[in-house]
Structures are given as C-alpha cells and as structure tokens.
C-alpha cells in the first residue's frame, strides 16, 4: 500500500510517500521558520496562507521524486490535529479532495501519534511495548505504548511545555525564533557548573511536568546579571547552559521514573526537542544504568514532517480504518481518544 502523507499542523509543510512493503519512497519539506522569525513566533494566518501556496507543488515534487504517478497512490493520510486550525484545514481539505478525486481512502492522523511513531522509520525500530517521551511544540508527555492506538498517559506538562520554555528562554536572552536550537548552540559555549537552575517537580513523586517556574527563574537570573541593561556574552552563554541543563535533567529524571514505574526497558523520544544532543546524551547514560534502550528518529524526522504522517496513516489503513467524507480538523485532540489498532 502506497500512502501519500500530508503534514500542515503548524509552520512546516511536509509531504511524503510511504510504501507498506518498500518503506519510505520520498519525503519533502518546506519550513516557514524564516518568515515567522521576523515576528518572534508563528503567525497563524501567515502559516495557513503559506501552506496553501506550497502544498500542491510539494505533492507534485514528491510524486516525481518517488517516480510515481498519482494513479499509483492507494490512500491519503493528512494531519487532522492537534494544531493551528487554519493550517490543519489546508492539509485536511487538500488531502480529502485528492483522495476523492483519485478514488482512494483517506485518513486523518493525530499529529502526536505521528511523532510517537517516527522512530519506526529507522532501520532498528523499537518493539512494543515501550515508554515514549513526546516533546513537540506545545506538548510534553510521557506515554505508555503497548501497541499502535493504545496510549496510556503517564504524565504531562501542567503549564508550559519544554519546547515553549526553550523558545521563551531564548527570547529573554535576545535570541531569534525558534529558540531551542539557538539555546543549545549558545549553551555549548557556557560554563555548565557556574549557575544551577531548579529542576521543577522532581522533588515530589509523579510524572507530570511544569516549566513555568523554570522560565521565571531564568527571567530573574537574567535581570540579576544585567549591567546597564545588558548581559555580557559569557553571562548569556552561562545562563543558556544552566537553563538547558535544568530542562534536560528534569526530562531525564521523569523518564527514569516512567521506566521504573512501568517496568519497561525501551524508551523512545520524539518531537522537536528530541533533536537536542544534550538530552540524547543524558538519556543514553540513564537508560544504560537502567539496562534499557533508547530510540529516536533521525534529525529531519524529529521536527514536523510528512513521513511520520504517511507511516502512521498507513498503519491505521492496514488495520482497516479510514475517515469519512467529513473534513477533520481538530485543534485539540487527546491521544487517549484514538481508536486502537488491534
């Protein structure tokens, strides 16, 4: 089964073709980061308009890369949520229309399920069951995954997600959007032992997260180190390093608890923050001590992409699922409401 996947949940237009027998055949992506960086964050209306402009050309490009005609596509998968409603509508309406025109089934895919399953695109994928740390945009969640479609929420952020905290800390430090990669780059120049930031909610039991206090601590630390309203380059780097260490330690501590609580020995990390090398190093050390294994997608599949949607959609289509003619766009969509793929 050859599935065309479409991702338009936020500020990246992703298209891919996944074959259930041959694997990933083609993958294309257009990022709107340069456009949104001028405003310090995603502007929903601009995002929607750019998806409209880029989506159909990317679909044509992807078909050409896979050396396929439209008649070779067996189904269409599109991101139905969660995300920006206008951006979702672009992908959902296009995907639904193409499926109808081609006479093939369509299926709306949960964006976070796509991220969760992205490591399955690698040569050495994890086996079920496993624990998943999802750190993407406005989401930070720990999930127990017995199989595709069966998701038990173990813990989540009660306020700011990790990715949001990275972006806000970067903005406080005068860095551009998106902040996560820039914080990591600046932190590499910092003294990680000079400052110590709090590890939120690690001094109590449970698997929930909270990053708003870390954000406030960062703001106060910046204010305390400014001289004549300015931070020195070294202070800026040291604060970035301290922030990154606190965020990474917090995520690592919670992941260790999740593995111990569930008794599982496989951990996957997925979503944009999973590309952070410091986080990967920390989790590798932790799983080694726990005699567990860590899995993650290649860098280009950590952020939003069409490949993860094509793969997730293919698995649900193979299980006999599909969407009706109603165009699905769900800005909010809890994962525990998804249908099991038994």
User: Is 101 annotated for ligand binding?
Assistant: no
User: Is 136 annotated for ligand binding?
Assistant: yes
User: Is 229 annotated for ligand binding?
Assistant: no
**Following CA atoms 130, 131, 133, 134 in sequence, which dihedral angle do they give, to the nearest 10 degrees?**
60
User: Is 138 annotated for ligand binding?
Assistant: yes
User: Is 167 annotated for ligand binding?
Assistant: yes
CA 204 to CA 202: how far, in whole Å?
5
Q: What is the chain's length?
A: 342
Name residues whose C-beta falls within 8 Å of residue 13's C-beta, 6 or more positions apart in sequence.
7, 29, 30, 32, 50, 51, 54, 55, 58
Name residues whose C-beta falls within 8 Å of residue 187's C-beta, 6 or more positions apart in sequence.
237, 240, 241, 243, 244, 245, 278
Which residues does residue 135 pair with via DSSP β-bridges, in sequence order?
Answer: 140
User: Is 137 annotated for ligand binding?
Assistant: yes
User: Is 60 annotated for ligand binding?
Assistant: no
Pairing state between β 139-147 and 150-156: antiparallel
User: Is 304 annotated for ligand binding?
Assistant: yes
CA 311 to CA 109: how far, in whole Å?
10
Angle between helices 162-172 and 233-262 (to 10 degrees): 170
User: Is 111 annotated for ligand binding?
Assistant: yes
Annotated binding-site ranges for substrate:
134-138, 167, 180, 276
Annotated binding-site ranges:
111, 115, 134-138, 167, 180, 276, 304
Annotated binding-site ranges for Fe cation:
111, 115, 304
């Amino acid at each position: 089964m050859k599935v065309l996947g479409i991702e338009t949940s936020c500020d990246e237009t992703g298209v891919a073709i996944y074959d259930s027998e041959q694997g990933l055949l083609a993958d294309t992506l257009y990022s709107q980061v340069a456009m949104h960086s001028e405003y310090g964050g995603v502007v929903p209306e601009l995002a929607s308009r750019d998806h409209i402009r880029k989506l159909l050309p990317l679909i044509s490009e992807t078909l050409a890369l896979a050396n396929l005609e439209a008649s070779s596509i067996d189904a269409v998968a599109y991101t139905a949520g969660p995300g920006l409603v206008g951006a979702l509508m672009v992908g959902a309406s296009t995907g639904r229309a193409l499926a109808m025109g081609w006479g093939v089934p369509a299926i709306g895919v949960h964006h976070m399920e796509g991220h969760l399953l992205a490591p399955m695109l690698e040569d050495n994928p994890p086996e079920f069951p496993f624990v998943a740390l999802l750190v993407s945009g406005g989401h930070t969640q720990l999930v127990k995954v017995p199989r595709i479609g069966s998701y038990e929420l173990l813990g989540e952020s009660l306020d700011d997600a990790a990715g949001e905290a990275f972006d806000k800390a970067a903005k406080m430090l005068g860095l551009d959007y998106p902040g996560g990669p820039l914080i990591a780059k600046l932190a590499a120049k910092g003294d990680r032992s000079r400052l110590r930031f709090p590890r939120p909610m690690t001094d109590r039991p449970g698997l929930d997260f909270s990053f708003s206090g870390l954000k406030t601590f960062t703001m106060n630390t910046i204010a305390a180190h400014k001289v004549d309203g300015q931070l020195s380059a070294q202070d800026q780097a040291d604060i970035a390093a301290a922030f990154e260490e606190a965020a990474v330690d917090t995520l690592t501590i919670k992941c260790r608890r999740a593995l111990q609580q569930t008794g599982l020995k496989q951990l996957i990390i997925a979503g944009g923050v999973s590309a952070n090398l410091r986080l990967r190093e920390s989790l590798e050390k932790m799983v080694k001590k726990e005699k567990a294994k860590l899995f993650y997608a290649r860098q280009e599949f950590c952020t939003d992409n069409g490949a993860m949607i094509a793969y997730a959609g293919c698995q649900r289509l193979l299980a006999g699922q599909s969407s009706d003619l109603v165009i699905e766009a769900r800005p909010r969509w809890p994962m525990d409401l998804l249908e099991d793929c038994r």
